[in-house]
Amino acid sequence: MYKIESFEKQMFKMYQLKNEEGTSWITVCPERGGIIIGYGTQGLEKLYLNEDTFYDRKQNIRGGIPILFPISGQLPDGLYEWENKQYSLPNHGLARIHPWEVIETFADEEKAFISILFESSIGTKEVYPFDFEVIFTYTLKENQLFIYQTYRNVGKNPMPIYPGLHPYFKANSKMLSIDTGAQTYLDYNDGETKTLTGKIDLEKLNESVVLENKRTDINATIDNVDLQIHMAKDFRYTVLWTEQDKSFICVEPWTAKTGELTRQEELITVESGEAFETWVSFQVV
């Protein structure tokens, strides 16, 4: 049997989904950007979390799996233009800095899930002039985490998005092996495209690197721990990033590269009344 427990910690309400033995779990905080702050397998926590940033509402969370919507990455000077009007969006968009609402929970013999909702508001429309409903369903089955995503346009105008996820995996070393099927990667530290030898050393790199996903099954090894990512074909890129002297490596599925809202070459357009649905799963073994 799987079960779901809710509890409060420092004024935040958490939901934990776990198996009967308590060896696999996910921990979710809907009001703090709908974030997963914990993902455990084989009795061990796999995600990094800086609790100081988590419990301070004024800070962006360093850790867990932040949700990137409507954009992934940054915009030049934080600005973009849409229909001859200029807007400002924070890095990685709006989802991670707004509260989400729990709309359903479920647990049985095979799995447990929680569905959460983020809707547009007067505040979001000041910087992103679209009406939307975003639903994430986090599902735990055995030791695998599934993230099902629905991005619905409830407005009258076509809605541009390029969402992503920002998982922080625990890591003592900055060296990782990764196989996305790509032969090269783009290094944002110097803007050069480099040959991928199978391993990437993030030591002393302040900016991220990005790989194209040539297939939907990705394998990575961090600190001799195997990470498997399965995803819909919409996720075209994997972004790698870390902070020096911090014990994590981010392995991030994105649907477009940073700055796409200004380039507008790979935007996902959701028409009025329609929804874009996609998914990603993680498994650490």
- The CA distances from residue 81 to 69, 73, 78, 259, 271, in Å, are 17, 16, 11, 12, 19
Please provide the average confidence, as pLDDT, over all residues in the chain: 97
What are the pLDDT digits (tens) for 131-181? 999 999 999 999 999 999 999 999 999 999 999 999 999 999 999 999 999
> Which whole number is the average pLDDT over 224-247?
96
Q: How many residues does the chain have?
A: 285
> Which whole number is the average pLDDT over 238-242?
98
Query: In the chain, which residue ranges form alpha helices assigned H by DSSP?
Result: 51-55, 122-127, 260-263
With tokens 């541009």, the residue in question is: 160
- Supply the DSSP symbol for 196: -
Specify the fold of 2-173+247-284: Beta-galactosidase; Chain A, domain 5 (2.70.98)
Q: Determine which of 103-107, 194-198, 254-258 has the lowest per-residue pLDDT on average.
A: 194-198
Q: Which amino acid is at 176?
A: L
What are the pLDDT digits (tens) for 97-125? 999 999 999 999 999 999 999 999 999 99
Contacts of 165 (CB under 8 A, 6+ apart): 65, 66, 67, 68, 147, 252, 253, 254, 280
What are the pLDDT digits (tens) for 72-102? 999 999 999 999 999 999 999 999 999 999 9
What are the pLDDT digits (tens) for 14-57? 999 999 999 999 999 999 999 999 999 999 999 999 999 999 99
With tokens 């000077």, the residue in question is: 77
Would you kindly state where each structural domain of the chain is located, as residue ranges?
2-173+247-284
Instruction: Please state whether beta strands 159-161 and 44-45 pair in parallel, antiparallel, or not at all (unpaired).
Output: unpaired
- Estimate to the nearest angstrom the gap between the alpha carbon of 163 and the chain centroid: 8
Residue 257 has pLDDT above 90, yes or no: yes
Torsion angle of the four alpha carbons 251, 74, 36, 40, in this order, in degrees rounded to the nearest 10: 10
**pLDDT for position 198:** 86
Residue 285 has pLDDT above 90, yes or no: no
**pLDDT for position 224:** 87
Q: What is the pTM of this model?
A: 0.97
